[in-house]
Amino acid sequence: MPEISRFYGIIIAMFFEDHNPPHFHARYSSDQAVIKIDDFTVLYRVPFEMKQTIQITY
């Protein structure tokens, strides 16, 4: 999985030509989430305790 960013132990990655809707994968330790790009809706989540103060903005 191509890694886009890494910060505070959180790894942000995306697959080329992955399924719709456009999204990215966030991993933290053994936890993971799939997040929609356009509105940051969490599509899929495995116990993901990301710090609430961290916001992803591009």
Q: Annotate 12-46 with b (16+ C-beta within 10 A) or e (fewer).
A: beeeeeeeeeebbbbbbeeebbbbeeeeeeeeeee
Judged by DSSP in three states, 34 sits in strand
The full set of domain ranges for the chain reads: 3-46
> Can you tell me the distance from the alpha carbon of 40 to that of 52, in angstroms, rounded to the nearest whole number?
14
How much is the mean pLDDT over the chain? 80
Is the model's pLDDT at 30 over the cut of 90? Answer: no
29, amino acid identity: S
Q: State mean pLDDT over 13-17.
A: 85
Is the model's pLDDT at 54 over the cut of 80? Answer: no
